[in-house]
Copies of this chain bind each other. A is one copy, B any other.
Amino acid sequence: MVKPSIPKGTRDFLPDEVNKRKFLFQTIEDVFRRYGYLPIETAAMENLSTLTGKYGDEGEKLLFKILNNGDYLAKADEKALRDRDSSRLLPTISKRGLRYDLTVPFARYVVMHQNDLQFPFKRFQIQPVWRADRPQKGRYQEFYQCDVDVVGSESLMYEAELVKIYDDVFTALGVEVIIKVNHRRVLMGIARAFGQLEQFNTFAAIIDKLDKIGEDGVKKELGHMGFSDEDCTRLFQCLNCPDISSLLALVDTNEDLDRGVEELRTFYEFFDLLDCNNEVVLDLTLARGLGYYTGCIFEVKAKNVEMGSIGGGGRYSNLTESFGLSNMPGVGISFGAERIFDVMESLGLFKDLHGLYVKIIFLAFDKDSHQYAFRHVSKLRSEGYAADMYPEPAKFKKQMKYASAQGYRYVVIVGSNELSAGKFTLRNMLSGEQHMCDLEEIVEILASK
């Protein structure tokens, strides 16, 4: 007998947590649908040929690989086996892995189903992904991603639409946020103005760390790249500009800056037609680590709570390049569902959700009244109401203890008196008040939300 356990970094969810998570995902999904995004789903297992080479060396190490079935050593690379070479052996004993994100499966999906889809194709996908990251507080090996993307169009209307989706979702969830906007070409233009265009990815990765290592940390790392102290000071004057015109007053323009500024302006033409509840700010220090992005980029931070970004995204020039389909530009954002969950818990925003869908339980105290109760509970359920009952005519104290521990708001007590009168005793578990009533009164309670 082994003491039961679950793998490190995985979780079981209790009913109350499942209900909260479902509420969160459903709220997000409802907004996505309102904007015309369509749901897709892919399998947890992907061919390793789909996954490898997509996530860099670090990501690659975090892929979960699935052992081939049956006598998996039968086709194993003999030399790799003899050399005890795990990496070289791998492709000969494992063909499949668990999906690491929703972007690569989406790219594969678009290529495979391009003839079944209309472009621009607007899709959302809310599914778990798996990463063999070292487990720690708030970081799991299995977690949900919520992605929404549109591919097959370069229109900046979608950038505005996606920012508004952030605004709508966080408004619906009751989470106050700041939505930060920037443009990769503007950043490139700044890098170019400082003669650092060729090292742009390094430059962007350093700027991206601003939140973690602070301005001094960033300046130090830029120093290693060749930025002088004076450059650093001037660079931060640029990055801290509140708007495009102040930036343009500080640096000479160039083709990247031109293009980025033009696109940002088009974005704002659409965006200015919208009313947002949350702050949407241009933040020239926003860089997004991923090399992947080529246009507008976004990031969301929760107000009133200490937490990394709870959403991010941006435009990419071609989703499907690595699968051989060119000309599939797109833009997408994702919601950090696990972090949003934690933010909502810490701000008490789930407080109006009840773990139980059922608010009433019937308790009976002898065989006849138990059957009487069962018949009526069944009738209520058939009519679409949620109701439950204790499975046997046990002692009053035992049944009440159960009803109270489960959190039922009302208890219906049925004994021989109620049975002979054709009535029920209704007890409000909060106030402790109780009185005899007929079924209609119970239906009224069940019908009210």
The 8 A CB mask of A270-299 against B (1 = contact, 0 = none) is 100111000000000000000000000000
Q: Check A381/B130 contact, CB under 8 A, given A6-B46, A49-B5.
A: no
The reply to whether B34 and A384 form a contact with Cβ atoms under 8 Å apart is yes
Q: Is the CB of B7 within 8 A of A47?
A: yes
A111 and B4 contacting across the interface, CB-CB below 8 Å: yes
In this assembly, does A447 line the interface, its C-beta being within 8 Å of a C-beta of chain B? no
Cα(A108)–Cα(B67), bound, Å? 24
Chain A residue total in the interface (Cβ 8 A):
112
Establish whether residues A39 and B22, one from each chain, have CB atoms under 8 Å apart when the complex forms.
yes
Q: Within 8 Å CB of A65, what residues of B?
A: 66-67
Residues of B with C-beta under 8 A to A61: 69-70
In the complex, whether A374 has a CB less than 8 A from a CB of chain B is yes
* Bound-state Cα–Cα, A113 to B13, Å: 10
A93→B66 CA distance, assembly (Å): 11
Q: Does A40 contact B (CB under 8 A)?
A: yes
CB distance from A128 to the nearest CB of B (A): 7
A80-94 with Cβ < 8 A to chain B: 81, 84-86, 89-90, 93-94
Of A45, A67, A357, A375, chain B has the most CB atoms within 10 Å of the CB of A67
In the bound complex, do residue B19 and residue A39 qualify as a contact, i.e. CB atoms below 8 Å apart? Answer: yes
Q: Which residues of B contact A150 (CB under 8 A)?
A: 391
Enumerate A6-61 residues with CB–CB distance to B below 8 Å: 6-7, 10-15, 18-19, 21-22, 33-36, 38-47, 49-50, 61
Q: Is the CB of A84 within 8 A of B95?
A: no
Can you offer 20 A-B residue contacts whose CB atoms are under 8 A?
A2-B323, A10-B45, A13-B40, A15-B38, A15-B40, A21-B41, A33-B386, A34-B381, A34-B384, A34-B385, A35-B381, A44-B142, A45-B141, A64-B67, A67-B94, A81-B84, A150-B391, A160-B374, A168-B382, A270-B374
